[in-house]
Structure 1
Amino acid sequence: MRGWQSQAHVKHYCKYHVVFVPKYRRKSIYGTLRKEIGGILRELCRQQGVELIEGYAMRDHIHMLLMIPPKYSVANTIGFLKGKSAIRIFREYLQVKRNFTGRHFWARG
């Protein structure tokens, strides 16, 4: 049973392939922001207790393979990652550029 995780009453092997897309598919992830977003998402996954197995930042989207424990809802985990990362990206990198409506960085879905 290689790769299985265990908690008090359950053994699990829950992997999820997640794709994040910036609002309006803007090419804003390209360049230096691309590396910084990876660091932000890694840190948020560590805070939430989610294992980030693989992650790829493309020009206009991000692919991630996450192992989310069953005690956390997938929707709540993704909402946490998208919400907190959007706030940090706006504060640290996009405050000068005002090409996004409000603080919305990721598209819905």
Structure 2
Amino acid sequence: MQYNTGSHCVFYHRYHLVWSNKDRFKVLKDQVLLRVRDICRQVCHENEIDILRGVLSSDHVHMFVSVPPKLAISDLVRKMKGRSSHKVQREFPELRRRYWSRRFWGRGHFSTTNGAITEDIVLQYLEQHIADPTGASR
């Protein structure tokens, strides 16, 4: 496990993110898929996010990323979905005419954290912390 550092913190934040396009149409193919991938990479680079793994299917996106604590996950997904939707609809007008009127991506997203410390370990640590004989907290 390798920790990342910020100006005033050390962190290990890994997130699995998933979102799909509107109505799950299978439109992420060929040039559209490559363009969405490039836009997501660009947004991550601008926000100092490491993409650990990413997979684009024909109707949804999976990303496993390391995100600094200064950025909310919802803001990251909003930036990637918003920029990619705007640019893809502008660069591929046939998608807009054929499948939908305004939205490229569906509403919402899925996210989950991943880390080396499980919930049981945290609960065990807190139990031991409370039982500290000196009564002093750290």
**Equivalent residue runs for 1:19-30 within 5 Å:** 19-30=18-29
Supply the distance in 1 between the matched residues of 2:17 and 2:41 (Cα, whole angstroms): 14
Secondary structure, aligned partner of 1:28:
coil
Q: What does 1:1-109 correspond to in 2, within 5 Å? A: 2-93=1-92, 95-97=93-95, 98=97, 99-102=99-102, 104-109=103-108
Tell me the matched-pair count: 106
Q: Secondary structure at the match of 1:96?
A: helix
Looking at structure 1, the residues matched to 60 and 72 of structure 2 have their Cα atoms a distance apart, in angstroms, of: 23
User: Which structure: larger Rg?
Assistant: 2
Q: Distance in 1 between matches of 2:47 and 2:100?
A: 27
8 Å contact 2:29–2:58 — kept in the other structure?
yes
Structure with the higher fraction of residues in helix conformation: 2
Contact preservation (8 Å) 2:39, 2:83: no
In 2, the alpha carbon distance for the partners of 1:3 and 1:90 equals 39
- Return the alpha-carbon distance in structure 2 between the equivalents of residues 91 and 49 of structure 1: 26
- Superimposed CA distance per residue, residues 6-56 of structure 1 (whole angstroms, 9 cap, x where no aligned partner): 112211010110112000000011333212211111111111221111111
Off by >6 Å, runs of 4+ in structure 1: none
Instruction: Work out the percentage of aligned pairs sharing the same amino acid.
Output: 27
CA distance in structure 2 between the aligned counterparts of 1:86 and 1:3, rounded to whole angstroms: 34
Shift of 1:77: 1.2
CA distance in 2, matches of 1:20, 1:100: 17
* Structure 1: tracts of 5 or more residues without a match: none
Amino acid at match of 2:94: V
- Report Cα offsets for 1:40-96 as digits up to 9, x if no partner: 111111112211111111121111111110011111111111111111111112x23
